[in-house]
Structure 1
C-alpha cells in the first residue's frame, strides 16, 4: 500500500512539487545578471582597470598601458553618487550628457583597507580641480605618484623634491627636460625612438628641448652630432601664475616651490592672508564651508575665525615626467575623499604609434608598478 507524506502533526499532505526546469533563455538571463552583479561588486570593492592616455608618468607608465588598480589597498570608497550607469565615465565622450543622476548624494565613507597612502605609491584619484562641476566620484580619473602625505612639508629646490627637508629619492625612471644643442645636422628619428627620447620643442635648426629618460642619457650625450645637453630648470624666485596657489604672495614655479605644509586631519592653521591663499580651496570647496573675507576679517560659516581645523587628510601628487605633467604643482592638494586606489600591475600595453606587428609591448604585460 502507498504511504502518504505526513506533516509533523501527522496530517496528510500533497506530493512534493516537481522540479521547475528553466529554459535556455532564462538560464542565459540569470547568468548575465549574476555576472553583471559580480563585476559591479568586484569593480566597486576590489579593483578596477584603467588606461593611461597621456605621458605624464613616463617612463614609469607609458601611454597605452592598461592597469589594475587595487581599491582594497587603501579601503574601498563607497559610492557617493549611487545612481549612475556602471562602467562608464561621468559624461559620454566630449558631450555634456551625464551618465549619472546627482539627485541623491551620500556622505563620504571608506571601508577598511590594507593600509594608507604612502610616499612613492602610484595612486589613482579623482581630479580635484573639477570641484563644483561633477560629484567627487564622477570626476575624471588621474594617476600620479604620491610625494607628500598628511603633515609633510614639501619643497622643490632646483627640480629636486624635499620632504621634511630630506631629499626624496626619485623613482628609477623619473625623467625631465633638457636643452640639447646639436651641430645642426638632422637627428635620426629611429635613434630617438629606440632611446625613448621625445622632442618637446625645436627652437631652431640646432637647438631642441627634449625629454630624455635617465637610461638613455649617456648613450645620447656621446653621439657625434650632440654638442651639449643642459637640464632645464626655472630659476628660484621666478613667479609662474599657473603654479599653485596662483598668488603673487608666493613666487613659486615648477622647479622651485614651497615649503608647503600638507594638511592633516585635526591640524589647526592660523588664518591670515598668506595661509588663506594656500588653504582656502581646501577649507571652502573640499570641506564644504562658506568663506567670506571682509575688511581684513575672515568669516567661516558666518562666524569670525582666526584659525581652522582640517576635517580631512590631504596629499601631494606629482608625475614622473616632471616637465610634462599637470599635477599638484598646478592644482594643489588632493583630498582624502578623492583617492580611488593604488596602481598595482600593468596587465596590457599597446603602442598606437608602432607598426601593426609591434603594437603590443610584450615586456610590459603583467609588470608590477613601482
Structure 2
C-alpha cells in the first residue's frame, strides 16, 4: 500500500511540476509580447517620436461621428494599469467599433460673421503663443505611467461610462509641493488611457505664469486663465473637417491676442467650438484652483459655466474631470459632494519596466492584452 501511495504522489508531483512549468512559460511569453508591443508607446513617451502634435491632430481629425465604445476602451486601459503586479496577464475583448468618419457637413455660404474651420485654424500658431500650462500628452514622462491610489479607481470607472448619470468628477488631494499628487496622477492616467484608446478628449494642466510671462496690465492669474482657455481653443480647432462652417467672425479670431480685452471673445470662441465638436466626449482640467487666488472671482466660474453648458445639451455626452491639490473656493458650490473624491495617499510612478499595456487598434481585430511585473 505504501508503494502505491508513493507512486501516486510521484506522478502527482510530476504533473504539478509540468503544469507549473507550462504556466511559467506562458507568463514569460506574455512578458515578451508585452515588451515588444510597448515599444511604440514607449518611443512616444520617451521622446523618440518627436512629432507628438502631428499624432494628436491625426487622431482629432479622424474620430468617428458616433463612438459609443470610447469610454469602454478608456476603462480597459485604466483597469489594466491598476491591475495588481502579481497578476501575470489577462485577456480582454476589444470592442473594435467600426471606425466610420462622419460625412463632411453641407458647405454653407460663408458670411462676414462666419469662417471655415481651416480659416480658424490659421490663427492656431498665434493662439498657441499665449497658452500657459500644457495639455496632458505634453506631460508624458520618459517611459513612465502614473497611477493614483486604488480608492479613486471606482469613481473613475463610473465617470468613464457613457451612460453614467453624473457627468462631472472632482478629485482633490492635499497640497504637496514635493511632487505629483494623487489627484494629478489620476488625471494623467486618464489622459494616457484616452491617448492609447484614441478617445476624443481635451485636457489642460494649469500652471501659474512665470514673471517673464506676465503681460502689461494683467495679473498672474489673468494671464494663466487666458492661457488655459487659449489652450482648449487650440485643441478644439484640430477636430472636424476643414470645410466646416463655424459661426465665428474673422474679427473675433483676430482679437485673440493674449490681452485681457480678449477674455470675453475667447469664452465665446470656446463656447462655439464646443458646440461644433460633437465627437468630443471628455475634458480633463488639473490645477484650476491655482488660478483662483488673486482673481476677481469671475474667471474660473466663467470657464466652468461654458463647460457645464455644453454638458447640459440634450443628447450630448461630455464628461468633465477636475483634479486639484489643496483648497478650492470655486468648485464646492458647483460640484455635487457625491461627485467628489478626496485622495490621501501619494501618487505612484510605475517605471518603464513595471506594467506594460498593449491595446489593439480600433481598426484591427483581436484582443487587448495587459501584463504586469514588479
TM-score (norm 1): 0.26
TM-score (norm 2): 0.26
Q: Which has the larger radius of gyration?
A: 1
Higher relative contact order (CA 8 A, sep 6+): 2
